[in-house]
Chains A and B, each alone.
Chain A
Amino acid sequence: MSERTGKISAINGNMIVAEFENYVLQNEVAYAVAGNEKLKSEVIRIRGRKADLQVYENTESLKVGDKVEFSGELLSVELGPGLLTQIYDGLQNPLPQIAKECGYFLKRGVYLNALSYEQEWEFTPEAKKGDKVKAGDFLGSVPEGIFKHYITVPFSFREEYEVSSVAPKGNYKIKDTIAEIKDKKGNTEKVSMVQLWPVKLPIRAYAEKIKPADPLITKVRIIDTLVPVALGGTYCIPGPFGAGKTVLQQITSRHAEVDIVIIAACGERAGEVVETLLEFPELKDPRTGKSLMERTIIICNTSSMPVAARESSVYTAVTIAEYYRQMGLNVLLLPDSTSRWAQAMREMSGRLEEIPGEEAFPAYLESRIASFYERAGIVRLNNGKIGSVTIGGTVSPAGGNFEEPVTQATLKVVGAFLGLSRARSDARKYPAIDPLDSWSKYESVVEREQVEYVRYILRKSSEVGQMMKVVGEEGTAMSDFIEYLKGEFVDDVYLQQNAFDEVDGATPAERQKYVFGILYEILKSDFTFGTKDEARHFFHEIRQEFKNWNSDPWGSGKFGERQKSLKEKVEKNVKDKG
């Protein structure tokens, strides 16, 4: 194929216009040549002999007349063993290696291999000569950290193949051929351990997509109990700044009971990524006993990095998530924040002078968001294994107002809505998920009946609280007042959680079920009090006891003792049945 080139005819921010001679492909990758630097870009619109390209780098010092080289490939990621524990930018450049080469600052035009081509992996064949295979079928495996990393027939292979040879057990580099397969016409294809996949297309090499049913345990009580998330489901966390979106994401990325966590820091603060980066290797995953980093991949395109790469970073992340799903693993993808991604689209759309929609967002905003979240799901692979991708994105609505286009477009396509409230975070009630506004379509870890009752108490409590603001405490009936206190009590001792307390910070499902049962009993009790101050005093007292209890390790002697003393305190005030 002859090399196709073009010439820059205009530059506006990170958009360039290139005049081309031959032909170009929509969304193909091209390089703008500035001196000895080649800047990666993507064709996003073609009009006549002119192609509009978004450049993934700063366009400083590019000149009109500079050369543009077209590559003929769509923007793709490299998939293969070695992805775990990596820290990539939005274009899958490994940041630690870039730091080694370029020092403190990111340098434009430097693109490194996402995976090591030198490292050797111990390959064990799974398929035999003569097997019939399709895209996504396992040919063999290599151990990657704590996982068995399956090497599959590349997802881009569309036909049915017959295995003609598989490499014997041994050490191989990722580019080595580990199998040869031939199609019906007899053409032989060589398969290595690494494959490319265009990020904007979903991987579909599975038998069927099934309905998410099992809960994904986050160990955050308010989520698991009140607004649960399912494996293979989707949820969103909208909230004004300072309400704790990112902290909630970080907590989830630590404690969630999934195999792999992919953190996509999209247009957010670099400092937050660094925290994860440096802390995760030190933290132990309670499920495996290994460091948390071994199950983590970080895609990081922070707010000061080029905008166009921000747009591609969420796609890079979801493609890697789908890749691990294809091995029968449960993957949790946490993009933070999808609003920055939407803003990146808006910036490009503005430069293209497209007709703007609401708040100048492009008209295709909704469909892009929908198709992104639709890449989540739980699937049955060709060999019967189940794998899933769960997506939990944060949304940063302008002014904290959920009526804006990104939040609204997201709400249409997610299965759970974990809305953070400024009022709660101002009162230091963390996690600041609003228990009344938030909803979920998935199944909770505790019994539905109990959840319904607690929801009722919370709603009632909030109503009484509102009413009390108008009629005052003295104008409130004792029974209402007690319900009000009950609601506050549930909030204080169960919905709020101290993320810095080792025990309280992560509550396993089993403990949630147990504790919630006790809480339910307390709420169901019929209390009698002489005065409102007495009632308040009582609830303060058991709140104290319950909070202490939350910090007692599950199953420890202290746990039992505290439960007993809590019970005694409660029973003292329960109305005599006689």
Chain B
Amino acid sequence: MRKVYSRILQIVGDVIAVEAEGVGNQELAEINTSRGKSLAQVIKLDGSKVSLQVFAGSRGISTGDEVRFLGHRMQVSFSDNLMGRIFNGSGIPRDNGPSLADNMVEIGGPSVNPAKRIIPNRMVRTGIPMIDVFNSLVVSQKLPIFSVAGEPYNELLARIAMQAEVDVIILGGLGLKYDDFLFFRDTLEEHGALSRSILFVHTASDPTVECIMVPDMCLAVAEQFAIKGKDVLVLLTDMTNFADALKEVAVTMEQIPSNRGYPGDLYSQLAARYEKAVDFSDQGSITVLAVTTMPGDDVTHPVPDNTGYITEGQFYLRNGRIEPFGSLSRLKQQVNGKTREDHRTVMDTMIQLYADFKETKEKLAMGFQVSKWDEKLLKYGALFEEKLMSLKVNVPLEKALDRGWEIMAECFSPEETGIKTEMTNKFWPKSKTPVEQEPRAGEEEGEGIEEGPRTVEELSAGDGNNNSAAGKKN
């Protein structure tokens, strides 16, 4: 029988201090309050003074409440019964189902021995050209989606979840809006994916400390599935809330903040979670996609900044599309050499040309005359944005590559692209027919093109042709 302590010395924020003996660091305790039971975890020991963070928050805790230490760390039940279930950050069901207590595993376990990892080599196809062609997602990758409030990042996450070929999907909601929680649940259900999904959801109105637990719960379960040979996709949204929760606890504990109030170990804390992504040498894998909203759209903010240093690249989601600049999949080289021989060439060239296009647009905005080269670039940029960048585009990789060549052929001569001759000989579209669709005039690319005569265009195909019209012409 474990001892019960009822001398709470101090309550600050969500951290309480109690006088107790024989307590292990990071041990779990149960507190009986007038509002019901809550779990708490030891975060600091000083002599007989034990500091605990209370998962349900300290509101309503009396200095006379009972604290019972459980002798183990935070655990989560692991079995196939988890499938299709929804829990909160403490592992309590929030879907009216029974609570699970069999086969408990500790969360936040030690890291994987690097010697047991393998070089990731399987691509996750998403049907989104900005990912598949330009920044391929790879099994076992950890990748954040940098975005700002208001962008459709949860929609993107859900879409990737639907289309990615994995065995188990684990969704961790951190400070999720209740609507978004329902959105995820309903979307997964509609596509019949809920039965292979497990949700750990902390909504914005839940206690802060539970937010900190969510990634560990998700990843501990993911790890167990991975060891059993399953490919697991972990989706976390939004990790900025996780960092803010850490900040809240750190400040309560009177730690010296390092940067904008965040604790000095923010990097290590984030890394401990992201590094759980793994491809085991002879078992399954964990792939982590995590939304990180950037306060004020500032990538140098400590949360996205530290995240970027940990993860294997990042996707920028801005204006409803994945930005080609800045977005990067560090592991793409592992897979994009094996897809089709022109994959890398198309990827590099199109981005370089798009960068030139951006420069031209800047020039244009300042009211300069455009050169012939600039006109070509403007045309190219518009086509690129419409046919490849838009999130509406849903085509397999090979088709997206073909589309890339078509776009380049429509705007440039082969040597203008700087692509090696052997490559253009093989892939440059022979017949210079227009691609299915011309850019609609007026929108982003409008300003310059409309005024200047489009002398360079080899093709006189008018604006506004839609798919069917172009088809008829051919």
Chain B nearest CB from A2 CB (Å) reads 27
Q: Say if the beta carbon of B366 comes within 8 Å of chain A.
A: yes
Residue contact A548 to B119, C-beta cutoff 8 Å: no
Query: What CA separation (Å) do A500 and B338 show in the bound complex?
Result: 13
Q: Say if the beta carbon of B62 comes within 8 Å of chain A.
A: no
Residue contact A63 to B258, C-beta cutoff 8 Å: no
Q: Which residues of B contact A347 (CB under 8 A)?
A: 264-265, 268
Residue contact B114 to A541, C-beta cutoff 8 Å: no
Q: Which residues of A contact B363 (CB under 8 A)?
A: 468-469, 472-473
Question: What is the number of contacts between chain A and chain B, taking CB atoms within 8 Å?
Answer: 222
Q: Which residues of A contact B26 (CB under 8 A)?
A: 59-61
Contacts A11-B25, A359-B259, A399-B305 given: A304-B111 contact, CB under 8 Å? yes
Q: Say if the beta carbon of A307 comes within 8 Å of chain B.
A: yes
Chain A nearest CB from B107 CB (Å) reads 11
Query: What CA separation (Å) do A106 and B22 show in the bound complex?
Result: 27
Residue contact B366 to A470, C-beta cutoff 8 Å: yes
Contacts A304-B275, A343-B267, A359-B258 given: A547-B418 contact, CB under 8 Å? yes
Q: Say if the beta carbon of B293 comes within 8 Å of chain A.
A: no
Residue contact A269 to B113, C-beta cutoff 8 Å: no
Contact with B along A473-489 (1 / 0, CB 8 A): 11000000000000000
Residue contact B326 to A242, C-beta cutoff 8 Å: yes
Chain A nearest CB from B225 CB (Å) reads 13
Residue contact B352 to A428, C-beta cutoff 8 Å: yes
Residue contact A398 to B300, C-beta cutoff 8 Å: yes
Number of interface residues of A (CB under 8 A): 81
Contacts A277-B114, A307-B265, A473-B371 given: A398-B305 contact, CB under 8 Å? yes
Chain A nearest CB from B127 CB (Å) reads 24
Q: Say if the beta carbon of B344 comes within 8 Å of chain A.
A: yes
Query: What CA separation (Å) do A274 and B278 show in the bound complex?
Result: 11
| A345 to B, closest residue via Cβ | B264
**Which of A108, A271, A533 gathers the greatest number of chain B CB atoms within 10 Å?**
A271
Contacts A278-B119, A428-B348 given: A60-B73 contact, CB under 8 Å? yes
Residue contact B258 to A346, C-beta cutoff 8 Å: yes
Residue contact B120 to A271, C-beta cutoff 8 Å: yes
Residue contact B115 to A427, C-beta cutoff 8 Å: no
Say which residue of B44, B415, B420 sits within 8 Å of A11 (CB atoms): B44
Contact with B along A523-561 (1 / 0, CB 8 A): 000000000110010001101100110010000000000
Q: Say if the beta carbon of A64 comes within 8 Å of chain B.
A: yes
Say which residue of A65, A103, A343, A396 sits within 8 Å of B22 (CB atoms): A65
Residue contact B312 to A360, C-beta cutoff 8 Å: no
Scan residues 240-276 of chain B and give those whose CB is less than 8 A from a CB of chain A.
255-259, 263-265, 267-268, 271-272, 274-276
Q: Which residues of B contact A399 (CB under 8 A)?
A: 299-301, 305
Chain B nearest CB from A379 CB (Å) reads 33
Residue contact B258 to A360, C-beta cutoff 8 Å: yes
Q: Say if the beta carbon of A143 comes within 8 Å of chain B.
A: no
Q: Which residues of A contact B264 (CB under 8 A)?
A: 343, 346-347, 350, 360
Q: Say if the beta carbon of B355 comes within 8 Å of chain A.
A: yes
Q: Say if the beta carbon of B442 comes within 8 Å of chain A.
A: no
Residue contact A474 to B267, C-beta cutoff 8 Å: no
Contact with B along A1-18 (1 / 0, CB 8 A): 000000001111100000
Contact with B along A387-399 (1 / 0, CB 8 A): 0000000001011
Residue contact A360 to B257, C-beta cutoff 8 Å: yes
Q: Which residues of A contact B109 (CB under 8 A)?
A: 105
Scan residues 153-209 of chain B and give those whose CB is less than 8 A from a CB of chain A.
none
Residue contact A98 to B113, C-beta cutoff 8 Å: yes
Q: Which residues of B contact A302 (CB under 8 A)?
A: 111, 114, 275
Interface stretch (choices B2-10, B45-53, B210-218): B45-53
Q: Say if the beta carbon of A400 comes within 8 Å of chain B.
A: yes
Q: Which residues of B contact A58 (CB under 8 A)?
A: 110
Query: What CA separation (Å) do A468 and B330 show in the bound complex?
Result: 34
Q: Say if the beta carbon of B339 comes within 8 Å of chain A.
A: no
**Which of B25, B308, B331 gathers the greatest number of chain A CB atoms within 10 Å?**
B25
| B422 to A, closest residue via Cβ | A548
Contacts A347-B264, A492-B418 given: A62-B114 contact, CB under 8 Å? no
Residue contact A401 to B46, C-beta cutoff 8 Å: no
Q: Say if the beta carbon of B24 comes within 8 Å of chain A.
A: yes
Residue contact A12 to B24, C-beta cutoff 8 Å: no
List 14 A-B residue pairs with CB atoms under 8 Å apart, sorted by A's residue number.
A11-B46, A58-B110, A61-B24, A63-B25, A98-B113, A106-B113, A107-B110, A269-B310, A353-B256, A426-B326, A427-B325, A474-B369, A533-B372, A540-B418
Chain A residues with a Cβ under 8 A of chain B: 9-13, 58-65, 87, 95-96, 98-99, 102-108, 240-242, 267, 269-271, 273-275, 277-279, 300, 302-305, 307, 337, 340, 343, 346-347, 350, 353, 356, 359-361, 396, 398-401, 426-428, 468-470, 472-474, 492, 500, 532-533, 536, 540-541, 543-544, 547-548, 551
Sorted nearest first, the 10 A-B pairs with minimum C-beta distance are A399-B300, A472-B368, A303-B271, A304-B275, A241-B308, A360-B258, A61-B24, A304-B111, A11-B45, A10-B46
Known: A98-B115, A105-B110, A270-B278. 16 other contacts (CB 8 A): A12-B44, A64-B47, A242-B308, A242-B314, A242-B326, A267-B268, A271-B119, A273-B114, A303-B267, A303-B310, A343-B267, A360-B256, A360-B264, A428-B348, A500-B344, A551-B420
